[in-house]
Amino acid sequence: MTSHQRLVLVIAAGLILLAAGVRFSSLGAQSLWNDEGNSYGQSLRTPADIALNAAADIHPPGYYWLLAGWRVLTGESEFALRSLSALASVLSATLAYALGKRLYGDTAGLAAMAVVAVNTFSITYAQEARMYALLALFAAASTWALIDILTTPRWRGATALALTTAGGLYTNYAFAGVLATHAVFGLLWLGWALTHRRRAGRVIRLTALGYGAAVVLYLPWLRIALTQITHWSSTGDPVPLSEALPVAFGWLTVGPTYATVGISVGVVLLLALGLYSVRPPASAPPPPIPRALALALPPLWVALTVTGFLALDLFRPANLKFLLPAQIATALWMGRGAWVLWHFPAVRDGRRIQRLTRAVAILTVFAVMWGARGGISALHTDPRYQRDDYRGIAQAIAADGQPDAAVILNAPGQIEVFGYYAARFGPAWELAPLPIGLTVDVQATQAAVRDLIARHDRIYAVLWGVNERDPQAVVESVLNTEAFPIDERWFGSVRLVRYVTPQQTGQTLDVDGAFTFPGGQIVLESAAISATEIEPGGALNLTLEWRADAVPPANYKITVQLLDSGGVLVTQRDAEPVAYQRPTRTWAPGEIIVDRHALLIPNDSTPAQYRLMIGFYNPDHPGERLPVSPDGDLLLLADINVHMGN
């Protein structure tokens, strides 16, 4: 082994360690989210059941089969479930080196590997228990196998092509973009071979055998795949090319964090030079692939993938993951740019300034890697890149100390991901997937919610995509009118709403008041409370009936506050009426609005007498409350006696 080879080996090993470090570091820090819960649920099934469930979805079963075996070997922690993707991503970075070296040389291979190692697009899906990192791995591996056949046609390449192509097809249908690239590139190579009178028969036979064997391996799933693809409705958003292309460019070159760290001059320079045709030194061995074809492969791969993505109307942030194979191509493109810099024919006084151009190449690649630090950090610290926190939701419910609680889960797939955490934090919780039916069965759903209200003291609603899953808000309508909402919190894009169920008939309060807004009044017609004597940790259930004599000009919020004898706030609940379902601007004059609230008494409350107050305010001007007769801006509902239990 020469000193050059040893140096290349050391650098490659260092880049492998870097790629592994940024992928396996904090791998289990974030909660599993909805889609990862689906992966976990699939991994618990038998291979036959995995296939049956995948047939009813839009993803083929290959990744789930692998994950099921991986789970048996490594366990069920977040780290273990995601480690398959992390390993696949590290191998993808290694294959980027192998491809770059095969097409251009060591310099290009190392630079491509460095780009993949720090790209946050690659890192994001390396840290997710989904199939996209595996998709990128099969894309890189199958492309390497094709290049291997074109350069040294042997059975090894045909076998690798068959296995990696079948693996890609069984992993995700986005692998079709890789096959399109292979087809166009193969035809270009064939045209070159025929033009230059090169023998192509063995290459054609081995390539046909490789793809043919992949088709045979895929035949059991082919009919299902065609059905799924042809019946899959578009999930993209109509976005102009002027908006879509910069986003795709940012994700492929830097990753989703490009909006945070920007796109450096080094990235643009490497891409520009990657299209520059430069002759290698005379001492270099002849290229295995014609220089023009090798130069064209990465841009061709990127162009075909992005064009297909946009042509199929797939563009939206959640679908950009289908472009992940093209990130390997982008890294090869930038790697070739580094190779061009390394061999750039800079001349002074008739001599090549080789050391200068090589120093620029090293500094440019290093600058790209150094600039990625902020993006890698942002993946773990910036809320924009955080996954929905189902673990945090389960911990919040467990902190309430209600082992017999009911948890309503409204979105498909939530039962798997929340069940994963419920087994850890609340094994006795009743998990209720609601509403009932893909097209909501209103009566059955209402009956199921009422049954939960009758059997549980506390109900927690874990809500995601309500407008799509429950457009009539059947679940929340029953809860907001027949139970008492405590509060709501957001965990990413998932909303947790806590409810207390009516365990007491309650008592009517002798109170009235009118809140004045410009042009009218909101009158409190009646008020009832569950009790005026309560222990710390208990909940006050409050039922209010409102009537407005004109349509209010703003959507006012109600504030329910518990104050001590000195007027200091102890606890409060702020919300729009009927848990945001009846904003005040929707009230008709004279309409009676029944509005329910629950107020939790803090566990550390001192036994004493407190005052329960209510008021209205405009959330655009929260410091200005509506005046209430006779004077002031808060209305006293009742004195509450907090005492210790026996």
* CA atoms in the 13 A half-sphere facing the CB of 240: 2
What residues have CB less than 8 Å from 368, skipping those under 6 apart?
114, 115, 118, 264, 266, 267, 270, 334
Query: In whole angstroms, what is the distance from residue 529 CA to residue 484 CA?
Result: 11
What pLDDT was estimated at residue 199? 82
What pLDDT was estimated at residue 646? 59
Query: In whole angstroms, what is the distance from residue 260 CA to residue 168 CA?
Result: 32
What pLDDT was estimated at residue 348? 53
Rounded to 5°, angle at Cα 51 from 49 and 57: 110
Tokens of 542: 């409050």
327-361 b/e with 16+ CB inside 10 Å = b?
bbbbbbbbbbbbbbbbbbeeeeeeeeeeeebbebb
Tokens of 471: 């457009």
What is this structure's pTM? 0.89
- 217 burial type by CB count under 10 A (0-12 exposed, 13-18 middle, 19+ buried): middle
CA 637 to mean position of chain CA atoms: 45
What pLDDT was estimated at residue 290? 85
User: Tens of pLDDT along 467-482?
Assistant: 888 999 999 999 999 9
Radius of gyration of the chain measured on its C-alpha atoms: 31
Q: Are 596 and 483 in contact (CB under 8 A)?
A: yes
What pLDDT was estimated at residue 95? 98
Q: Are 118 and 376 in contact (CB under 8 A)?
A: yes
Query: In whole angstroms, what is the distance from residue 511 CA to residue 513 CA?
Result: 7
Q: Are 508 and 526 in contact (CB under 8 A)?
A: yes
Query: In whole angstroms, what is the distance from residue 142 CA to residue 144 CA?
Result: 5
What pLDDT was estimated at residue 16? 97
Which domains, from first to last, does the chain contain? 3-385 (no CATH), 390-500 (3.40.190), 507-642 (2.60.40.770)
What pLDDT was estimated at residue 603? 87
**Backbone φ and ψ of 80, nearest 5°:** -65, -45
User: Tens of pLDDT along 518-554?
Assistant: 999 999 999 999 999 999 988 899 999 999 999 999 9
Tokens of 289: 């692939």
What pLDDT was estimated at residue 615? 95
Go through the chain and tell me how many residues it has. 646
Q: List the chain residues with pLDDT less than 50.
A: 350
Query: In whole angstroms, what is the distance from residue 117 CA to residue 11 CA?
Result: 13
